[in-house]
Amino acid sequence: MSFDQVQPFPGSSYPQQVAFDRRELSVIMTLYGRMVAAGEWRDYGIACLRDLAVFSVFRRTAEHPLYRIEKRPKLRQRQGQYSVVGMDGHILKRGADLKTVLRVLERKLIRSVD
């Protein structure tokens, strides 16, 4: 059993909650650090729910998230379990590889530096 799926009791088939594992958080926090250094992002929040885990990034603490990085293991075999969702709720990128999905946000960093 991996750390990203905690089972409520032995033998159960559904996870109690979904979370990002250490490798996933490392990839996300690397991007987050670069965006903070560029002055784009200032705060973040993490939510671990039954069906999904969400990493939300904010420009300021008291506003709606600019982006949400979501992990939905049930979509692993379909569209891919990772997605980046914009402030308006539109999915900007979806896929099976977290680094590939996060490239949509790295492009925004490159544009802001130019």
| pLDDT average, residue stretch 68-86 | 88
> Tokens 């903070």 appear where?
36
Per-residue model confidence as pLDDT tens digits over 16-26: 788 888 999 99
19 SS3 class: coil
Q: What is the pTM of this model?
A: 0.77
Give the largest Cα separation in the chain, rounded. 53
Per-residue model confidence as pLDDT tens digits over 81-96: 899 998 888 999 999 9
Nearest by Cα to 56 from 89, 81, 34, 79: 89
The tokens for 76 are 């692993």
What is the Cα–Cα distance from 61 to 26, expressed in whole angstroms?
22
Residue 17 confidence (pLDDT):
85
